[in-house]
Chain A
Amino acid sequence: MTDLNLLLLQTVTGIALGSVYALLAIGLSLIFGMLTVVNFAHGAYFMVGAYIGVYVLSATGSFFASLLAVFFSTGLFGLLTERVLVRPLYGRGPDYPLLLTFGLSYVIIDVIRIIFGVEGLQSSTPAALQGSVNIGIGYFPIYRLFLIAAAAVIITALWLFIEKSRYGLIIRAGARDPEIVRILGIDVAKVWLLVFGLGTAIAGLSGVLAAPIRTVTPEMGIPVLVESFVVTVVGGMGSIGGAVIAGLLVGVVYSLTALYAPALAELSIFALMALVLVVRPQGLFGREGLME
C-alpha cells in the first residue's frame, strides 16, 4: 500500500464516519433551526433507533423492514415528545426545553436498561453487506460503503422534501417568520410537531445504520450527542447544508488526525470547533441571532 493510497483510504474512512455525523447533525439542526429547541435527547433517540432496529431485524430478518420500523417508531416517539413535553415550554427561552430534553435522555436510557438489560444487544452486519471489497486504493468494508450511500439517499430525500415540496415550503416559511405563516391560516403548531418528529426519526435511522459497526448499549448515544453538537456548531446551528458539510469535514479531520497522531484525534474535532467559533461564531453556514 503506497502512502497516497493510505491517505486516500483514510479519507474514505473519514467520509464514512462523517456520513453518520452528518445524519445525526441534520436531525439536531432541523429541530433547532425551526423550533429553536436544543434537543439534548438526540443521542437517546439514536440509541432507541438502534435497539428497535436490532430487535426488528432479528424478528423479521429484513434490514429494510428494520429501517422502516425505526423511522416510523422513533418519529412517532418524537411526535409524542413534542406534543406532550416540549410544546408547553414554547416561548420560555431555549434553556427550558434544553433542560427538559436533558432529563428525558436519562429517563429513556434507564427505561432501555430496565427493558433490555445493561449489557446491550448483539448486532451483526446484514449478510449481504458483510466483508470488505477492494475499492482500488485498498480494502474497505462493504457496510461502510453502504453507510455512505444510505446517508446520501436520506439527505437527498430530506432536501427534496424541504426544498421542493409544498410542506417543505411551509416549514421553511415557518422557520423564517412564524407570525406571517400563522396569519396566512396555517397551523404552525402542526408544522413544529412534524419537524420534531422528522428530526427524531432521522436520529433513529442513524442509530439503526450505526448499529452493525458499534455495540448496541443503553449508553451508546452519549458520546454521539457530543459529536453531533460539535458538527452542528461547526456547520452552523439551524443550517441543514451546513450540517452535511460539517459532518463530512469533522469525519475527515478526525480520520486524518488519527493517521498521523492517533492520540490527538479526539481533540482535533474540538480544536476545529474552537477555530470555527473564533473565526465565524455563527458556524460555517449559520444565521446570526438564532439563540436570541
Chain B
Amino acid sequence: MSETNIRRRKLLLSAAAAATTPFWINSVRAQEGPIRIGYPVPLTGPYAAEAKDQVQGAELAIMEFNESGGLNGRKCELLVRDTKLSPGEAATRTLELIEKDKANFIVGSLSSSVQLAVNNVAKERRIIYSSISQSDTINEVKDWSPYTFHEAMNPTMTAGAVGRYVFPKYGKRIAFLTADYAYGHEMVKGFQRAGKPFGVETLIDIRHPIGASDYSTFLPRIMSLKPDILFFCNFGRDLISSIKQAGDFGLKNNTRFVTPQLTLTARLAGGSDVFDGVIGGATYYWRLEDTVPSAKAFNDKYRKAYAGAVPSDFSALGYSSVRAILTAARNAGSTDSDKVSTALRQLKYDFTKGPEYYRNCDHQAVQSVLVIESKSKNMKDKNDVFDIVAIEKPDESHLRSCQELGHKA
C-alpha cells in the first residue's frame, strides 16, 4: 500500500468521524456571561395576541430572576424570535438561537407542529426545551428526549377534564369542528377518549384548514344534525371566527358550544356576546387569586409590571416555564443541560396555580386543569369574563400512562 493511499484513507476516516460527531460537541455553552433563553413564538399571524402574552410572562420571570441576583451574579436575557407559526421558520430560528446566539435554553412556541420542530432541533443539540403549547405527541418516546419538558397541559388532560364536566351535564350526541392539524386531531381524540365511559356518540367531525376565514359552509350540516354539544377544536382567530359565525346561524339555541382551550386573550378579542355561555378548559384564569395564594402573588406582580393588565393563560405559561428553568439552574448552580434537566425533574413548584411537578418519565407538568364558562353578566370589571365551574386537581391518572407513551415506567 502506497503512502498516499494511507494518507487518503486517514483523511476519509477523520472526515467520517467529523460527520458522525454529535452536534452538541460543536456547541459547548458558555458557563459565564449572561444566561440566554431563546424564545421562538408566533409574533405575527393568527396567534399573535397569545404570543405577546407569552413574551410578557417570560419577561416578568426574567426581571424577577435578575432583581434577585441571577445565578451567582449571572443575569438572564430573553431572545424573542418570530416563528410565523411555521415549523420550518421555527426550526431555522431555533437553530440560529442555539448556534449563533449561543442560547442556553429554549422555551416557547405556540402550535403543536411548531413545537415538535423546535424540540427536534433543540434535542439534537442537547439543549433543554420547555414547550408552552399543547401537544400529546411531544411526550411520546419517539419525539421526547431527556432535554424535553412540557410545561403546558396536553390534549389528553385538557379535553379529559372538559369532557368529564360537559358530557353528564349537556348530553352525549356530539359534533366537532376541527382545525386540520395535530392540535385539532389530538383534541378530538382527547374528547372521544374521555367520552367513552359516558357512551358519547360522534355525529360528525368536520375538518377545516388552519387560518380559514369563513366557516359558514360547514354550519348548515351541523345544524341539521342537532348535536347536544359542538366542540370547536381550533384556536386563536380561527376559534373566534368560527364561534361567531356559528352563533350568527343560531346554532347556540339548541347546542352547547365547547372548546378545549378557552383563553382570556380570545375572549377579550372576540367580545362577550360571541363567547356567551361557551365552556372550555384553561391552564390559568386570573380569578384563581380568590382561592390560590400563588395566583394572587403572580397577578399582583403582573399588574405592577404591565400597567394593571391581568395575565392570560399564555402569560402564566411563559412565566412559570421560564421561572422553573431559572430556579432549576440556581438549584443546580449551573446552566449545563444535564444538571439543569436533573434539577427540573426534582423540582416541586407553585408559581401561578397551585402545586406542580414534572412527571419523571416524560417531563409532563402535572397540574390542575380549570374548566371555565364565559359570561356576559355580573362582571366586576372588563377582565372578569369567566366563571370557574370546575377544577380537576393534579392527577397522573388523567394522563396517558408512561407505558402508553412508550417510556419504561
Contacts and interface: CB of A to CB of B under 8 A. Distances in A.
Interface residues of A, number: 41
Given A14-B217, A214-B214, A214-B241, A141 B209 contact: no
Contact of A118 (B44, B207, B244): B44
Nearest to B206: A262
Contact of B223 (A1, A130, A255, A262): A1
Most buried by A among B46, B217, B265: B217
A213 B214 contact: yes
B249 A132 contact: yes
A119 B52 CA distance: 9
A265 B217 contact: yes
A214 B49 contact: no
A21 to B, nearest CB: 10
Majority-rule SS of B interface residues = helix
A241 interface: no
Contact of B213 (A139, A223, A262): A223
B220 interface: yes
Contact of B224 (A1, A215, A223): A1
Contacts of A16: 216
A206 to B, nearest CB: 12
Interface stretch (B185-193, B269-277, B341-349): B269-277
Interface string B229-264: 000000001001100110011100000000000000
Interface stretch (A5-13, A33-41, A196-204, A273-281): A5-13
Contacts of A143: 248
Nearest to A213: B245
Contacts of A144: 216, 248
B48 interface: yes
A259 B220 contact: yes
Contacts of B208: 262
Interface string B203-230: 0001111011110111111011000000
A13 B219 contact: yes
Band of interface residues on B? 35 or more
B217 A214 contact: no
Given A113-B44, A119-B48, A119-B269, A213 B218 contact: no
Nearest to B216: A13
B279 interface: no
B250 A215 contact: no
A263 B208 CA distance: 7
Nearest to B207: A263
Contacts of A130: 248
B248 A224 contact: no
Contacts of A132: 248-250
A120 B180 contact: no
A139 B45 contact: no
A131 B221 contact: no
B49 A13 contact: no
Contacts of B241: 213-215
Nearest to A266: B209
Contacts of B212: 266
Most buried by B among A6, A140, A214: A214
Contacts of A118: 43-44, 48-49, 52
Contacts, number: 105
Most buried by B among A9, A113, A138, A217: A217
Nearest to B270: A122
Contacts of B216: 13, 16-17, 141, 144, 213, 255
Interface in A222-270: 223-224, 254-255, 258-259, 262-263, 265-266
A10 to B, nearest CB: 5
Given A118-B48, A118-B49, A10 B269 contact: no
Most buried by B among A125, A131, A144, A213: A213
A1 B226 CA distance: 10
Given A118-B52, A263-B207, A255 B269 contact: no
A220 interface: yes
A259 B206 CA distance: 10
Nearest to B43: A118
A6 B224 contact: yes
A87 to B, nearest CB: 32
Interface in B100-120: none
A128 to B, nearest CB: 14
B249 A139 contact: yes
A8 to B, nearest CB: 9
B372 to A, nearest CB: 20
Contacts of B221: 6, 10, 259
B46 A217 contact: yes
B180 A263 contact: yes
A13 B208 CA distance: 17
Contact of A122 (B52, B206, B271): B271
A213 B242 CA distance: 9
B292 to A, nearest CB: 28
B101 to A, nearest CB: 23
Contact of B249 (A140, A218, A220, A255): A140
A259 B217 contact: yes
Contacts of B217: 10, 13-14, 17, 254-255, 258-259, 265
Contact of A262 (B45, B218, B249): B218
Contacts of A262: 206-208, 218
Given A10-B220, A124-B274, A141-B216, 17 more contacts: A10-B217, A17-B217, A118-B49, A119-B49, A120-B49, A138-B224, A139-B250, A140-B249, A141-B245, A214-B213, A220-B213, A258-B218, A259-B217, A262-B207, A263-B180, A263-B207, A266-B212
29 contacts: A1-B223, A6-B220, A13-B219, A13-B220, A14-B217, A113-B44, A119-B269, A120-B237, A122-B269, A124-B273, A131-B250, A132-B248, A138-B220, A138-B223, A139-B223, A139-B250, A144-B248, A213-B244, A215-B237, A215-B269, A217-B48, A224-B213, A255-B217, A258-B218, A259-B221, A262-B208, A262-B218, A263-B180, A265-B217
Interface of A: 1, 6, 9-10, 13-14, 16-17, 113, 118-120, 122, 124-125, 130-132, 138-141, 143-144, 213-215, 217-220, 223-224, 254-255, 258-259, 262-263, 265-266
The 4 residue pairs across chains A and B that have the minimum distance between CB atoms? A258-B217, A132-B250, A119-B49, A118-B48
